[in-house]
Amino acid sequence: MAAQNPPLHVIVLGAGIIGLQTAVFLLEAGYKVTVVAKNLPGDVDLEYTSPRAGAHWRTQATANEIELAQWDRETYEYWLSVVAREEASRRDGFGVGDSGLKVCVHYKPEAEGWSLTAAALPRILLLVKTHTSGFGGRGLMPKPPRDGPNPEISQGAQSIWWRNVVLNFKVLDPSVLPEGVYFGVTYSSFCINPPTYLSHLVRQIETAGGTIHRLEIPTKGGLGAAMAAVTDAVSSEPPFAIVNATGLGAMALGDKNMFPTKGQTILVSNESPVIRIRIGDGDPRVDPELSQEIVERCKELAPDILNPDGEFEIVSEQVGFRPSRSGGPRVELEGVLSARGEKPLIVVHCYGHSGAGYQSSVGSAKKVLRLLEEQKMQGTAEIRERVG
């Protein structure tokens, strides 16, 4: 991409996975980037979702959701390249590149009563082992709806759009499936240690010359006032654009389609290859009954890491709220009039990724970059027209 001279300034509001990944790509493309956020990696706050994620790559996009599918595909391919680079640098003795990304085999059964025993599961094969801690993963799909088969596998493996995206996609022979399971595949997927990955992105931003400031932007005056406040806080000159990557914070900025979706996770010592997903209520407290249910299911799936008493060494239990949005994530450009009524500020919204913020982060950040590049071209054309 052509170097900008002087570089155009973009402010990224938000330091979750979405804001940080976007900042990395903007810096690579030659923009000057300032990240501004109330919460930064290392913080613990119920409204800061990214450190509380699972997290793994298990696309939720259907075959008809072309753009969402594209984002997930782009992320998968990008992460493969990150892991390959890190492996290569370790082989060369540099030992650098601690992203917290890990390739694992993902097991996807489709069952009415998905009671699985570890003995029935195929051998878990780790393609790449990193020295970072993380969550290994066999992902479990919820039960298919009672009124019909899961549309994702309506025509067996043929209807799975991502079968040619992931590595080592394999339909399991029915003979190896546990009782009650009617369909299963294995494929190579990614597991992420969220705090490690967020810190990795911060390092990338700082190395590339980006700056990160802790600042809470007041939201009472609405989007225009908030965007003007961001601008004033960072620079005396209006920026080229602001990226609104506020996650759940977009609710306070006036998006009525946003809503939180609860998730509960349990961190245990040792590496467990199990991820259990369930959508819950709005209670910010850990639900002990749900924890017990998760633990009991996981005992079946990960007996290797139980202590001599047959229990997990539980490190922590946590609740997180996914930034969900009816209609799906909002990634679009808007001219926002500031409260002072000056020239509209270019705002690119990028929020509402719900339970897919990690796996779609690369694709949606690339879209933000494309929108800004288009805007830059338009601006250049306008200037040329004016000058003659």
Q: Is the distance from CB of 290 to CB of 266 less than 8 angstroms?
A: no
Backbone angles phi, psi at 163, to 5 degrees: -65, -30
Any idea what the Cα angle at residue 322 is, between residues 351 and 365, rounded to 5°? Answer: 30
Q: Binding site annotation covers 322?
A: yes
Cβ 357 to ligand FAD, closest distance in Å?
Answer: 2
Residue 91, amino acid: R
Alpha helix locations (H) across 92-150? none
Q: Among the candidate windows 37-45, 84-92, 175-183, 378-386, which touches ligand FAD by CB under 6 A?
A: 37-45
Whether the ω angle into residue 6 lies within 30 degrees of 0, i.e. cis, is yes
Q: What is the DSSP letter of 127?
A: S
Q: Among the candidate windows 45-53, 149-157, 233-241, 372-380, which touches ligand FAD by CB under 6 A?
A: 45-53
> Residue from 8, 11, 17, 290 that binds ligand FAD (CB under 6 A)?
17
Q: Is the distance from CB of 140 to CB of 276 less than 8 angstroms?
A: yes
Q: Among the candidate windows 10-18, 94-102, 125-133, 333-341, which touches ligand FAD by CB under 6 A?
A: 10-18
Residue numbers 143-162 binding ligand FAD by CB under 6 A: none
Query: What whole-number distance in Å separates Cα of residue 152 and Cα of residue 132?
Result: 33
Residue 18, amino acid: I
Q: Among the candidate windows 114-122, 177-185, 239-247, 331-339, which touches ligand FAD by CB under 6 A?
A: 239-247
Q: Binding site annotation covers 355?
A: yes
**CA neighbor of 8 nearest in space, from 239, 231, 332:** 239
Q: Which two tokens stand for residue 165?
A: 């995206």
Residue numbers 67-126 binding ligand FAD by CB under 6 A: none
Cβ 136 to ligand FAD, closest distance in Å?
Answer: 13
Question: Does 55 interact with ligand FAD (rule: CB under 6 A)?
Answer: yes
| Site size toward ligand FAD, by CB under 6 A | 40
Query: What whole-number distance in Å separates Cα of residue 269 and Cα of residue 103?
Result: 19
Q: Binding site annotation covers 49?
A: yes
Question: Does 245 interact with ligand FAD (rule: CB under 6 A)?
Answer: yes
Q: Binding site annotation covers 50?
A: yes
Cβ 314 to ligand FAD, closest distance in Å?
Answer: 16
Backbone angles phi, psi at 109, to 5 degrees: -90, 155
Residues comprising the binding site for FAD?
49-50, 246
- Binding region for ligand FAD (CB under 6 A): 13-19, 37-39, 48-50, 52-56, 216-217, 219, 245-249, 263, 265, 320-323, 351, 353-359
